[in-house]
Amino acid sequence: MKSVLRTTAVAAVIAAFVGTTAVVAAPTVSAVPEKVGNFQLTDHTRLAHELFYFKYAPAIVLMSQTNGSKLSRDAASELSKLQAAYKDKGVLFYMINSNLSDSRDAAAAEAKKQGFTIPVLMDELQLVGEQLNISREGEIFVLDPKAGFKVAYHGPLDDRFAKGTPNAKAKIADAYTAKAIDAVLGGSQVGNPRVDVKIGKAVSFPERGKTAQHANISYSKEVAPILQNKCVTCHQKGGIAPFAMDSYEVVKGFAPMMLESVMSERMPPYFADPHIGNFKNNHALSAEQNKTLIHWLEAGAPRGSGEDILKTQASEAPEWPTELGKPDVIVKLPSFDVPSSGTVEYQSMRVDNPFKEDTWLKAIAIKPGDRTVLHHVTSNHSPDRSKPAPKIPGGSVGSYTPGAEPQIIADNTGAPVPAGGRLNYSMHYTTTGKAAHDATEIGYYTLKSPPEYIKRSTVISDFSLKIPAGEARHQEIAYLEFPADAYLYTLYPHAHYRGWHVELKQKTPDGKEKMLISLPKYDFNWQRDYDPVEPILVKAGTKLIAKWVYDNSTHNPANPDAKINVTWGEQSWEEMMYFRVNYRWADETRTNLRNDLQTKLMESRTIGALDDNADDLVQVTELTGAMAGMKARFADLDVNKDGGLDAKELAAGNISRATARQLRDTDIDL
């Protein structure tokens, strides 16, 4: 982004120099930056792409595009030819749409209609287009990752797109882009690195002319309140972030890093696609906040005048979450010494249930003893077998994963904890090279009177997953079919280091589909519940279909080992395909328990895990990973010889029993 600063700063100087009344002539040679800073954008298929992830690519070609225009379409189809020609060399091709009137859905429709083979990056805030100084459709940028993402070439695709009416059928006289790619691949200078782009529809950038105003964005009135609101909960004294934003000076010092972390969508850590669903505790910057912050950072983070509220209102992180206060009951788990290296087996910690009467929880907060080593906690209640069976069902009594927030249960609903028995916690520790000591505490907030409804939870998972060694975008699908109406309270996706993208959609019995949540880029370090602002009604017969995409390539910096075929497992170097949902049955109340529905829901689980293409049949090719052993029995089990096992055939074949162990493994309520 530094390079943009240069361009915009120059423009600001010019603007200041000529005064406000003078008209600045548009430069004849486009002022594209020398280098491109990191950014992340989501494409028309909802997948995120981070520029610096592709540092391994020998060259990256980016073309500005708009929907419905002949030039964009012709250029896109010519670009596809280049893509095919340079496939073996590993050159990557992207289009970028910064056009404010092209929505993502419209771009997806255009891509489908035109049969695009190249992802369209949606630059909805125009921040990347501003950085690149795009002015028209059809502009090509050839980037050289090895030279710090230098813009090795900027100009039209080739001479046919340079002037007049482009004629894609004409013979190419000067293949600017191909020549530039060849030069970058060969490590030589591009002969003609900047060619003026004279034709193509102009893309309007309303903020572009406002560089001078950006330098006047008020830190005091505009920027500090954004940081206070969206960053300080973690970036405060005693908070989980590595530095406290408690004065302008700190912010100024971190300004270049802030620019990078916001542009690459690492910060603030909130990863749900803003177009899909509406969730509580949304830390994301709004579009306006994002633009204000970036424009202010690009303008050099000026102090301006006015109060510094980050300093005058500096706070310290509370011991327990502010919105909940001190817990009614605190369980102090036994402490554990984590060695400096090696694998630590899951630690079981059992405590006597502090609740002597049937209790309903309204919230649970976990205070890790040492966040650097505590990887996750799962839990459940086990009844005292010498006593009559509990009157209320027992379930999870709290869970923790990195980045988790307190679990708050919806109004009128409680998480049941039967009286007596024990609370069991399974603790997973990772080693860091430094010995550590963990003493985790669990805070329970109880309901003073019993609720009307019961919080239930279930997991959509695929224990037959198999991720081939080295594969960068491997997809797995699993589903569950809801036998009765239910309200979804919480969506919680979970995978390990290779998890890269996840989404959950519903498919109603009439075949209609609706996306409920999508994380364009999943981040293992930030796992949290996504609670819809309004519970989502799921009608009887609806399938909830989860899709996970995994990155088992060497390019995934978190990948523990790209050389192995990965299957299901609890340790971090193994993988999970896991999506928990919390809900309540629409017609279940505390006095009318519907355990029967819970059983019915589980019946769809085996087929939902195995049926990767969601066609209600399990084909032999879908018996992978932990289920590969069933292949030998396939022909016998397929009684009606239609080439697939339906739910009945699966049940008759006792596949469910064969998978019982895996199902138990997947049952942990993370």
Q: Which is nearer to ligand HEC, 187 or 238 (CB)?
A: 238
Q: Are 208 and 130 in contact (CB under 8 A)?
A: yes
Q: Which is nearer to ligand HEC, 254 or 320 (CB)?
A: 254
Q: Which residues of 82-109 are buried (b: 16+ CB within 10 A; e: fewer)?
A: bbeebeeeebbbbbbbbbeebbbeebbe
Q: Which is nearer to ligand HEC, 289 or 559 (CB)?
A: 289
CB 52 to ligand HEC: min, Å: 12
Note the Cα 204 to chain centre separation in Å.
Answer: 29
Q: Which is nearer to ligand HEC, 4 or 234 (CB)?
A: 234
Q: Which two tokens stand for residue 667?
A: 């049952």
Q: Which is nearer to ligand HEC, 371 or 505 (CB)?
A: 371
Q: Which is nearer to ligand HEC, 241 or 472 (CB)?
A: 241
646-654, Cβ contacts within 8 angstroms, sequence gap of 24 or more = 646/607, 646/616, 646/617, 647/603, 647/604, 647/606, 647/607, 647/616, 650/606, 650/607, 650/610, 650/618, 651/603, 651/606
Please tell me the distance from the alpha carbon of residue 214 to that of residue 219, in angstroms, as a whole number: 11
Q: Which is nearer to ligand HEC, 285 or 427 (CB)?
A: 285
Please tell me the distance from the alpha carbon of residue 392 to that of residue 378, in angstroms, as a whole number: 20
Q: Which of 593, 595, 580 is nearest to 546 (CA)?
A: 580
Please tell me the distance from the alpha carbon of residue 75 to that of residue 253, in angstroms, as a whole number: 43
Q: Which is nearer to ligand HEC, 58 or 402 (CB)?
A: 402
CB 405 to ligand HEC: min, Å: 8
End-to-end CA gap in the chain: 39
CB 280 to ligand HEC: min, Å: 14
Please tell me the distance from the alpha carbon of residue 559 to that of residue 471, in angstroms, as a whole number: 11
CB 195 to ligand HEC: min, Å: 36
Q: Which is nearer to ligand HEC, 241 or 593 (CB)?
A: 241
Q: Which is nearer to ligand HEC, 250 or 564 (CB)?
A: 250
Q: Which is nearer to ligand HEC, 154 or 230 (CB)?
A: 230
Please tell me the distance from the alpha carbon of residue 539 to that of residue 156, in angstroms, as a whole number: 52
Q: Which two tokens stand for residue 647?
A: 């739910």
Please tell me the distance from the alpha carbon of residue 632 to that of residue 433, in angstroms, as a whole number: 45
Q: Which is nearer to ligand HEC, 75 or 373 (CB)?
A: 373
Q: Which is nearer to ligand HEC, 128 or 630 (CB)?
A: 128
CB 389 to ligand HEC: min, Å: 41
Please tell me the distance from the alpha carbon of residue 5 to that of residue 7, in angstroms, as a whole number: 6
CB 282 to ligand HEC: min, Å: 11
Q: Which is nearer to ligand HEC, 84 or 257 (CB)?
A: 257
- What residues contact 382, with CB distance under 8 A and at least 6 apart? 394, 421, 422, 424
CB 283 to ligand HEC: min, Å: 5
Q: Which residue has the tokens 């406002």?
A: 210
Q: Which of 197, 191, 97, 94 is nearest to 152 (CA)?
A: 191
Residues that bind ligand HEC (CB under 6 A): 230-231, 233-235, 240-242, 254, 257-258, 261-262, 266-269, 283, 285, 525
Q: Which residue has the tokens 């969601």?
A: 614
Note the Cα 374 to chain centre separation in Å.
Answer: 22
Q: Which residue has the tokens 């899709």?
A: 547
Compute the CA torsion angle 226, 232, 235, 238 (nearest 10 deg).
170
CB 227 to ligand HEC: min, Å: 6
CB 269 to ligand HEC: min, Å: 5
Please tell me the distance from the alpha carbon of residue 220 to that of residue 201, in angstroms, as a whole number: 39
Q: Which is nearer to ligand HEC, 58 or 269 (CB)?
A: 269
CB 444 to ligand HEC: min, Å: 23
One-letter amino acid for residue 657 of the chain: R
Q: Which two tokens stand for residue 575?
A: 């993988």
CB 238 to ligand HEC: min, Å: 13
Please tell me the distance from the alpha carbon of residue 634 to that of residue 658, in angstroms, as a whole number: 14
CA atoms within 13 A on the CB side of 435: 3
Q: Which two tokens stand for residue 354?
A: 């502090």
CB 275 to ligand HEC: min, Å: 20
CB 232 to ligand HEC: min, Å: 8
CB 371 to ligand HEC: min, Å: 9
CB 250 to ligand HEC: min, Å: 10
Compute the CA torsion angle 464, 465, 468, 469 (nearest 10 deg).
-110
- What residues contact 605, with CB distance under 8 A and at least 6 apart? 480, 663
Q: Are 577 and 495 in contact (CB under 8 A)?
A: yes
Q: Which is nearer to ligand HEC, 92 or 363 (CB)?
A: 363
CB 215 to ligand HEC: min, Å: 20
